[in-house]
Amino acid sequence: MQQEQIWDAGAAQRYDTPGSGMFAPEVLGPTVDRLVRLAQGGAALEFAIGTGRVAVPLAERGVGVTGIELSVPMVERLRTKADEASIPVIIGDMATTVAPGEYALVYLVFNTISNLLTQEEQVECFRNAARHLSPGGRFVIELWVPELRKLPPGRAATVWQSEPGYIGLDTYDVLHQHVVSHHFHFDESEQARLYRSPHRYIWPAELDLMAQLAGFELETRHADWAGTPFTAESRSHVSVYRIPVTQ
């Protein structure tokens, strides 16, 4: 299934959960706070801007935000919150599409780089970020750590979330570093709704090598947006890469 088919109008509607989930203040607040500091007064470019979950509050904090987005339905939903003059968006993929101007910050949140399903595309995403940044500019990626340690021999799936009305299940193809996320939503009836999305998972060390190939240096890595130290037990990370300033 193509990414354009996955992120359709239904997905755009399900994505927005004002005040809860990814939109909960305790989740979104630290994200926006950190990005404001990293932008240092400059303009920001969001790859895969989606419905504006991060871009809208970031723009409200005074950061000029431009977006790149593959899904037209996602952008249509963003337009109910901010017009083109407030948050310009270029339709296209984040590996090759170029936005006008130069930026102090490029960012990719909530595992979105894994929507690129080949290593080559992911490397090109880093190079695309680099071409948009001024010297000293930063590229920020939020990404989960593959949970292969939870896979017993002969098993190909992990349950990563289970709560009333919802089960999140990932199936792994370790040969190709592919994972399919299965989202089961159900109620008291016998019926359930299933939504799936394919990803290519990336180890932190591989991500760092991609960054080096594009001319970046790793500046910081934390387990979350609040700055919790990253350890071997961390389930995700926020990595900040920087274009060196030539002397």
Same domain membership, residue 50 and residue 140 = yes
Task: Domain of residue 189: give its range.
Answer: 148-198
Q: Which of 14-28, 181-195, 198-212, 223-237 has the lowest mean pLDDT?
A: 14-28
Same domain, 211 and 192: no
160 and 92 share a domain? no
User: Both 106 and 178 in a single domain?
Assistant: no
pLDDT cut 90: percent of the chain above it: 75
Q: What is the pLDDT of residues 201-237, one digit of tens each?
A: 999 999 999 999 999 999 999 999 999 999 999 999 9
* Residue 90 sits in the same domain as residue 141: yes
The model's pTM is 0.91
Q: Which helix (H) or strand (E) holds 127?
A: helix 119-132
Mean pLDDT of the chain: 92
**223: in domain:** yes
Any domain includes 247 = no
Domain count, the chain: 2
Is there a single domain that holds both residue 113 and residue 18? yes
22 and 51 part of one domain: yes
Q: Are 169 and 146 in contact (CB under 8 A)?
A: no
Question: How far is Cα 78 from Cα 12, in angstroms, rounded to an integer?
Answer: 9
Please say if the pLDDT value at position 153 is more than 70: yes
User: Do 141 and 152 fall within a single domain?
Assistant: no
Domain-embedded: residue 237 = yes
The average pLDDT across 36-61 equals 96
Section 140-144 average pLDDT = 97
Co-location of 132 and 99 in the same domain: yes
CATH number of the domain to which 215 belongs: 3.40.50.150
**Same domain (yes/no): 133, 158:** no
Report the amino acid identity of residue 95.
Answer: A
Residues 176 and 164 reside in one and the same domain:
yes
Confidence of residue 247 (pLDDT cuts 50, 70, 90): very low
How far apart are alpha carbons 15 and 72 in whole angstroms?
Answer: 14
Going by pLDDT thresholds of 50, 70 and 90, the confidence category of residue 155 is confident
119 and 88 in one domain? yes
For the segment 27-34, the average pLDDT, to the nearest whole number, is: 95
Backbone angles phi, psi at 23, to 5 degrees: -95, 0
